[in-house]
Each structure stands twice: as C-alpha cells, then as structure tokens.
Amino acid sequence: MKLIYVAYGNVSVFSSQVVALLNHYILSDKFKEIILLFGVDYNAKVNENKLKDLDENIRVMFFKQYPQYMLIENKTIKSIAKTLKEVDKLDEYVIHIRNEVTAHYVFKAIEKIGIKNNKLLADVRGAGLEQLLEFSNKNKLILAFKKIQREKVDGTLSKIKNISVVSDALKFYIMNKLGVDLNIYVNSCLANQSFKFNPDDRINIRDELNISTTDNLLVLSTGGDSPWQNTAKTINFLTDRNFKVLNLSKTVIEHENVITRFVPYNEVSKYLSAADAAIIWREISVTNKVASPVKFSEYMCCGLPVITNKSIDLITNYINKNKSGVILEDIDEINEETLSNLKQLDRFIKSSEAIQVYGIETIANNYIKIYNKLIA
C-alpha cells in the first residue's frame, strides 16, 4: 500500500496527531511508501522543528497554503497540483487529507492535473462553519464569503464520499448536512504509547512540584487557547476557590495556586500521572458538541479522571459508559468530596480501558482498515 498524507503544518497538534500516526505506520510495515504533503504558509519558511521527529523513511513534499479565502483559493490548489505532479503513478496512492478545506483543495488539484484517483479520504476534525459563526470575530461580509466557501467544500465532500470524522456527533452533523449517501467512519483523536498511568512518575513529579499526598492537584492541558476551550476562565474559577492547578498550556496565569509547566510533548504523560483529576469545561455549542479533544484521549489513557459538563458528546458518552470521571451541571459543584471520590478509581484499569479505544495502535489500525477498503 502507498499513502500520501496531506496536512497543514501550522496546527498545535501536528506532532501528536500527524507525526505520531505516520511514524507508527512505518513501524507497522504495511506501507510500501509514505509521503507527507506538508502545507506551509505562503509567506513563511518551513518550520523544520515540526518535522524533527518524523521518521526518516517518510518522504516530505511541500505546498504553499494561502489564506482560506474563496477568491484566492486557486493559488493553494495550483501549489498542490504542482507538487502532486511530481508523484509517479499518483493513481496508485491512498490520499488521506486532514481537514475538509484542504480536502477540497486536493480534490480540485487532482482534477486540474487530470489524473483519476478515487482513493481519497477526507479527515474532518470539527464543525468548521459553526466554529466560525459561534466564535469568530470576523465582520459579517467575510463570514458571508466563508459560508459560501463552506458550501463549496461540502459539495466536494459529497464527491469524495469517503469521510473520517472524530466523533459520532460529528458523523450525524455531516450526515444531516450532506445526506446519507456517504461512507463515514469514526476515528477519535489518538494518544501515543507514552500515555499510560505510571505510579513512579506520579511520585517523582509530585515531589518536584512540592505536592503532598493529601493535596488535590487539578490539571488543564491544551495545545492552544482557542475561545471555545475556556482555559483561562476555568483556571481563574478554580484558583479563586483555592484549588491547586497544574497549568500545562502556553497561557501563563500568575497566581499562587497555579503551577505552570509547558513541557515537551514526550513528558506530558508524567504530569498527567501526577495529577488527581483533569478539567474540561466548555461552553454549550455545536463546535464543542461534535469535538474530540486530543487532551481527553491523553487524560483517559493516563487513567486520569475528568471533571466536565455536558458540552462534548464524546466525553459525556465515554464517562457515562466507563465511569472514568464525573459530569456536573455547574462548575460550582467541584469540591473536595468530588475529588475524593475520583481518587478511589483504579487508574491502571481506567488507563488500560482507554488505550483500547484511544491508543495509537487502535486508531492507526482503524485508518488502515479504511485504506484497505479504498483500494479493494
């Protein structure tokens, strides 16, 4: 099997979701060739740091990605087409495209160069239009153009037909928009093999942070600080009530009860083992309803209980089924009793359960099954 994986490099989870997945593919020994088609901002240099952990056996090719505006999208399409022309026997490759707008560009690029390839998989990561409408501060005219562009993207998805989504809620969202004559597969965000509960890391990191065995340590960890993630707002609420908070985000909050550590990705699991619970508290919105937060997968694989509201269907359903956290109506309900109950959970068991669902081997195998269907 030969694979081209198309991804825009300027995303916070590139290392955890793209590099980790492709490296795992190399280890699986199921691919004759893997090409990463790497999108770079049109006015920027290649961020080599993004690619430093990528397996040397993966061929990297580049295209220029211009701002996602309808009137200039043809520049991105031309750049992709130019790069794809360099691939010999393009029709033999499965082409896995991360993000529905990029999938639209790739589909149009393949049309432009006149090569037929039905082995495309559009990997939709969220409700893009709703994210713009709910959280964007762009003016109404720009939003109107964005809405028209999204309608074009939806039309392309209907032609691609093979779509991967990150949650059941997103699957139903896509079906309601585009109809049921599609092959839609659910693959949540993955956690790599480093994410598992480690009691030694728990002891060592708590010593490093000067957290006693009786203290409760809550963690927030995001790859960014998007408006729908509520990172700063949630931390402020918890610190006002004297909870100790481990802030593993780029957002620095000065408070005596906040410990900020923006650590290398391969060390995050150590800090998750050290924590007693994680908080994911988001606004009720379509954007959140259909989401699959990377950090939730990582929390679960570390056996870390999650305190949340009902904003994200995937999280609500998983916690209800596996009892791996608690769902509250109001953030004011977080108290010492809540944390005491969560500390009774067997983290080894919860970690093992989650790895079967969100672990990299499970997610990678799910994608490979889809690829095999595309080439059958």
Q: Tens digit of pLDDT for each residue in 316-353? A: 999 999 999 999 999 889 999 999 999 999 999 999 99
Cα–Cα distance, 163 to 78 (Å, whole number)? 23
Whether residue 126 sits in one domain with residue 232: no
Position 164 pLDDT exceeds 90: yes
Alpha carbon 56 to its chain's center: 24
Whether residue 214 sits in one domain with residue 184: no
List, for residues 213-261, the tens digit of each pLDDT value: 889 999 986 555 554 456 666 777 787 777 899 988 777 778 888 999 8
CA-to-CA separations, 109 to 83, 106, 119, 148, 351, in angstroms, rounded: 10, 5, 14, 20, 43
Handedness of CA 144, 290, 161, 30 (dihedral sign): positive
| Closest residue by Cα to residue 120 from 87, 94, 102, 83 | 94
Position 181 pLDDT exceeds 60: yes
Is 262 strand, coil or helix?
coil
Confidence of residue 293 (pLDDT cuts 50, 70, 90): very high
Residue 71: CB atoms within 10 Å: 9
Whether residue 177 sits in one domain with residue 203: no
pTM: 0.93
Q: Higher pLDDT residue, 194 or 180?
A: 194
Whether residue 350 sits in one domain with residue 210: yes
Which residues are paired to 60 by β-bridges? Answer: 36
CA-to-CA separations, 28 to 69, 194, 375, in angstroms, rounded: 38, 17, 18
Whether residue 239 sits in one domain with residue 170: no
Whether residue 162 sits in one domain with residue 99: yes
If you average pLDDT over residues 148-175, what whole number do you get?
A: 94
Whether residue 342 sits in one domain with residue 220: yes
- Cβ-Cβ contacts under 8 Å for 185 (sequence gap 6 or more): 162, 163, 164, 165, 366, 370
Contact of 15 with 51, CB cutoff 8 Å: no
Whether residue 64 sits in one domain with residue 47: yes
pLDDT number for residue 228: 46
Whether residue 333 sits in one domain with residue 365: no
pLDDT number for residue 222: 55
In the block, residue with structure tokens 């699991």: 269
Quick one: tokens of 194?
Answer: 């480093």
Residue by residue, DSSP assigns 157-216 as HHHH-EEEESSHHHHHHHHHHH-S-SEEEE-PPPB-TT-S--HHHHHHHHHHHT--TTS-
Q: What is the mean pLDDT of the chain?
A: 92
Cα–Cα distance, 225 to 235 (Å, whole number)? 12
In the block, residue with structure tokens 């305190």: 307
CATH code for the domain of 314? 3.40.50.2000
pLDDT number for residue 339: 94
Position 300 pLDDT exceeds 50: yes
Cα–Cα distance, 173 to 362 (Å, whole number)? 24
Position 281 pLDDT exceeds 80: yes
Whether residue 243 sits in one domain with residue 345: yes
List, for residues 120-155, the tens digit of each pLDDT value: 999 999 988 888 777 777 777 878 888 888 899 999
Percent of the chain past pLDDT 90, that is, above it, reads: 71
pLDDT number for residue 226: 53
Domain count within the chain: 2
pLDDT number for residue 254: 82
Whether residue 217 sits in one domain with residue 120: no
pLDDT number for residue 231: 64
Position 23 pLDDT exceeds 90: yes
Cα–Cα distance, 256 to 239 (Å, whole number)? 8
pLDDT number for residue 128: 80
Contact of 261 with 247, CB cutoff 8 Å: yes
Rg, the chain, Cα only: 21
- Cβ-Cβ contacts under 8 Å for 205 (sequence gap 6 or more): 270, 271, 273, 274
Cα–Cα distance, 223 to 294 (Å, whole number)? 9
Domain residues for the domain of 349 are 199-358
Q: Which helix (H) or strand (E) holds 289?
A: helix 286-289
List, for residues 46-104, the tens digit of each pLDDT value: 888 899 999 999 999 999 999 887 778 999 999 999 999 999 999 999 999 999 999 99
- Cβ-Cβ contacts under 8 Å for 167 (sequence gap 6 or more): 186, 188, 290, 291, 292, 313, 314
If you average pLDDT over residues 19-47, what whole number do you get?
A: 94
If you average pLDDT over residues 154-158, what whole number do you get?
A: 94
Whether residue 8 sits in one domain with residue 137: yes
